[in-house]
Amino acid sequence: MVDLDPAVVAVILAMAAVTYATKAGGFWLLGRVDLSERAEAGIDVLPGAVVVAFVTPVLADGGVPEWVAAAATVAVARKTGSLLASLAVGVGVVLAVRTLV
């Protein structure tokens, strides 16, 4: 059995509480503030901006497999509108092209 240091457990629980409080506080605050149309539009596109922030460095450093997978992912996303299908195709294509190249 693993012995857990009480200080480590306390730190983990404190971090979990702060993370939850931050997220809950954000939802609570946004529920009480009237946002302009511009602010709402910015919040609506934020998830896409986060994805681009993660994908861009991979594509910049990547080779043919990553670029082919990115193109396939975009094509499937446009065709189906399904995030799960596009992610599955992207992972499958990058694995397949890496195997072939």
What is the value of pTM for the model shown?
0.57
Q: Measure CA of the first residue to CA of the last residue in the chain; give whole Å.
A: 46
Write the pLDDT tens digit of every residue in 58-74.
899 999 999 999 999 99
68: closest CA among 50, 91, 85, 51? Answer: 91
Q: What is the pLDDT of residues 68-97, one digit of tens each?
A: 999 999 999 999 999 899 999 999 999 999
pLDDT at 44: 84
Q: Is the pLDDT of residue 1 over 90?
A: no
